[in-house]
Amino acid sequence: MGLMAGLSLFILSVTLFANPSSTDSSTLNITFQRSLNLSRKILQDVRDLLLKYKHEKIGSSSFEDYNMILSSLPRCSIVYRYWLHMQDVERLMLNAKDLYVFWIHVDFKRIDELRDCQESAVSKSMEGVSLDLRDLISQLSSQLSALNSTSPDPPDLMLPHTVLNPAYEWHSKLQGYIIFRDLETYLNKVVRDFTLLKTKYRE
């Protein structure tokens, strides 16, 4: 993935294994509120980025295609009954693991964008989303520690060859669309999770 991506991975891995002390419900309520606010911000930023990306890279802001998938991305859908009965730690661990995978994809596309041209509005938006995702993953790690759990090991993810070296430029553009489209969908679940957790741990 290159030196920049490798350095970013190292920084994020160090952040993931921070181990703050346990805390009480009122403090958890505050940190869940903070994560909820950040999740909503990232969601809005991804929506804006997706529109910008489709306009500049695909050629139409109204472009939609839900038949295309990337097998290296986490699943965005979850059965409601299963979601409703998940344990708090289970929610946080799943989000930490999946958002880490999204972060790797977003950061790779950001670096790929910079390779092709000078810094642009799209690359700046990608950078903002990447940094915020890293902060959110760090918050998830702290919350897991506060619940006397440990963060999941960072996935040993190797991006598929088709993502690292797409056969055609058009394929690369479509992959970027899929990444931001699925991230938007997944963040809706993250927002629901933090809304529920904030309610459970209110004073």
105-144 per-position pLDDT tens digit: 999 999 988 886 778 899 999 999 999 999 999 999 999 9
pLDDT in tens, 15-42: 443 333 345 888 899 999 999 999 999 9
Can you tell me the mean pLDDT for 191-198? 96
Task: List Cβ neighbours of 63 (8 Å cut-off, separation of 6 or more).
Answer: 54, 177
Query: Left (φ > 0), alpha (ψ -120 to 50) or beta: where does 59 sit?
Result: left
Q: Which two tokens stand for residue 41?
A: 């911000």
Level-2 CATH architecture, domain 26-60+76-200: Up-down Bundle (1.20)
> From the CB of residue 66, how many other CB atoms can be counted at a distance below 10 Å?
9
Predicted confidence at residue 13, as pLDDT, reads 45
Predicted confidence at residue 9, as pLDDT, reads 44
User: Higher-confidence residue: 29 or 150?
Assistant: 29
Q: Point out the least confidently predicted range of 50-54, 90-94, 151-155.
A: 151-155
Q: What is the pTM of this model?
A: 0.85
